[in-house]
Amino acid sequence: MASLRSTTTVPANSSKSSTGDFTSALYAFLNALPKLTLARLYNTPASCLAIFRLLPLIGRHLVLNMIWSEDPIRKSEVELWADINRPECKTQLDDSLTKLFRLNIIEESFTSSSDRHNTQATLILNRSFQQNFRRALTGGGNHCSFGVPCNTSPKSVVPIDELDRYGTEKWETILHYMVGSRLPTKPSHNILTLLGQSGLMTSTDPRSLHSLKITSKGFGFLLEDVNTQLWDILLQYLKMTESHGLDIVDVLACLFMLGSLELGQEYSFSNWTSTQTQVLQDLVDYGLVLVTAPDRFYPTRLATTLTSTAPPLVSAERLQEEHGFLVLETNYRIYAYTRYLYQDFRTAAEYDSTLQYSKKLGIVLWEHAGLRKFFMSVMVMRLMMLMVLERVCCVKKGVHVPVAFRGTTRARARAGDELGPLERAAWEFGNCM
């Protein structure tokens, strides 16, 4: 048996995984798969590595401590790796073991000693998972589970910033469509079908996909981080492909493989299965891959960060957006979808007055009274910037003010008035465009 006395002790305060909230939904999906399906999934090293990354911190410690052991380990000895005298540590260890049992990564068995009343529990890693996870760590085998890199000529290399721009535009086309922005390019028919079937949008005409409107579930989706959004969409995609008769293991293995590829490297898919090739073509619509030839593609940052904590989009160099929305939170801060913080609201009364004023302007898209937050169209920023200019200029005689905006703020405009929260946000929004 491998030595266990030198193993790393599980940290006490490690109940939260370092991965994001998207792991909960993905774990629930994997947990619902039959054991036979999981066993087939564990035949690919990339899938083993991806699922390992999704485990909670204690779960990852347990797997790493057992990966090189060929013999079963007594459960009582495993419990020594954590400070089980502290209730929270014991709870975290039990929760992690439960997840590992349900995913069939660790198998538990019971052995009887000479004393029939003294039954000992032993733990061992699933052999298929163990062998292929070892291959993932050491690079052994010829499984091509982590893609087949191409020898791309320097003149044909697609720069990473171009891949980022491509992935961002594709993904945000979907998000802008959901909030009703009028853009020249709409998502593909397959994406519209997925948005409708997932409940993120609903159709006012069951016979057409051109009359979709966002639902409350869709607004909640927009509040999530990009990685969680991606997996919400991909899990719905998995359900759709399974209902169409595609091999769920092939589809999952393809997604997990994409999450392990290198950004900026071109890969070949000439030897992929027909199912995986179809999945790759579908993922073009989501901005996860850029197909450069009939048998070659580049993964974008959206794909290479699927199973990691790295940001899927480069927020520092985001393209300037013509449309978007703002989120007003219960902490009296107003956020834009572009993730810029615009303004702190000083009081609850100011929050309420802002909401009422927004309703008068007719730009409130959705509100949640319990959470005290609402969405409003960012197109109002153009209006508000004009209002700001009017408030500055209307006290001067002879200055032309656009007729469309005179009635809205001229009555409120007085020399020396302080700008309201929306107007301050508009002013700051204009400065950062």
Per the structure, the complete domain to which residue 287 belongs is given by 157-304
Within this chain, do residues 219 and 352 fall inside the same structural domain, yes or no?
no
Asked whether residue 62 falls in the same domain as residue 125, the answer is yes
Pair (116, 165) in one structural domain: no
Looking at residue 360, its pLDDT comes to: 73
Asked if pLDDT for residue 406 goes beyond 70, the answer is: no
State whether 186 and 297 are in the same domain: yes
Could you tell me what percent of the chain has a pLDDT over 90?
A: 40
Alpha-carbon distance values, 187 to 37, 170, 227 (Å) = 32, 8, 19
Same domain, 69 and 107: yes
Question: Would residue 15 count as lying in a domain?
Answer: no
Q: What is the mean pLDDT of the chain?
A: 75
Domain count, the chain: 3
Please state at what angle helix 87-102 crosses helix 57-66, rounded to 10 degrees. 70
Residue 211: per-residue pLDDT: 78
- Spatial distance between the Cα atoms of 89 and 79, rounded to a whole number of angstroms: 10
Determine the Cα–Cα distance for residues 314 and 318; give it in Å rounded to an integer: 6
In a domain, residue 373? The reply is yes
In a domain, 319, yes or no: no
Selection from 145-159, 366-380, 391-405 with the highest mean pLDDT: 145-159
Q: What is the CATH number of the domain that holds 91?
A: 1.10.10
pLDDT digits (tens, 9 = 90+) for 120-129: 889 999 999 9
* Distant-in-sequence contacts of 270-275, Cβ < 8 A, 24+ apart: 270/148, 270/295, 271/144, 271/148, 273/247, 275/246, 275/247, 275/250, 275/251
The answer to whether residue 210 scores a pLDDT higher than 50 is: yes
Q: Looking at the structure, tell me whether residues 79 and 170 fall in a common domain.
A: no
Residue 350: pLDDT band with limits 50, 70, 90: low
In this predicted model, which residue has the larger pLDDT, 304 or 19? 304
**297-346 pLDDT tens trace:** 999 999 999 987 666 665 434 434 434 555 554 444 444 443 332 334 45
* Residue 291 β-bridge partners: 297
pLDDT score recorded for residue 415: 36
Average the pLDDT over 199-206 and give the result: 85
Instruction: Indicate the burial class of 124 (C-beta count within 10 angstroms; 0-12, 13-18, 19 or more).
Output: middle
Q: Say if residue 86 is in the same domain as residue 123.
A: yes
Measured distance between the N- and C-terminal CA atoms of the chain, rounded to whole angstroms: 63
164 and 298 within one domain: yes
Per-residue confidence (pLDDT) for residue 124, from 0 to 100: 94
* 181 lies in some domain: yes
Q: Round to whole Å and give the CA distance between 265 and 292.
A: 12
What pTM did the predictor assign?
0.69
CB atoms within 10 A of CB 300: 31
pLDDT value at residue 323: 43
Asked if 113 and 231 sit in the same domain, the reply is no
In a domain, 413, yes or no: yes
53, 167: one domain: no
Q: Give yes or no: residues 185 and 299 share one domain.
A: yes
Instruction: Tell me the pLDDT tens digit for each residue of 270-295.
Output: 989 899 999 999 999 999 999 999 99
Higher pLDDT, 116 or 245: 245
Helix, coil or strand: residue 411: coil
Of the three residues 258, 276, 304, the one that is the final residue of a domain is 304
Kindly indicate the confidence band of residue 423, based on its pLDDT and cuts at 50, 70 and 90: very low
Do the Cβ atoms of 30 and 88 come closer than 8 Å? no
246, 176: one domain: yes
Examine residue 5 and state whether it is found in any structural domain, yes or no: no
**CB distance 267 to 299 below 8 Å:** yes
Q: Is the pLDDT of residue 230 over 80?
A: yes
- Provide the pLDDT for residue 244: 87
Q: Give the whole-angstrom CA distance, residue 318 versus residue 337.
A: 11
Q: What is the pLDDT of residue 310?
A: 67
pLDDT for the residue 383 = 47
pLDDT for 252 beyond 60: yes
- The helix/strand/coil state of 345 is coil
Give residue 275's pLDDT: 92
Residue 331 lies in a domain: no
pLDDT band of residue 135 (cuts 50, 70, 90) is very high
Is residue 206 in some structural domain?
Answer: yes
Alpha helices in 116-247 (DSSP H): 127-138, 160-178, 189-197, 216-222, 226-243
What residues contact 137, with CB distance under 8 A and at least 6 apart?
Answer: 49, 67
* SS3 label, residue 257: helix
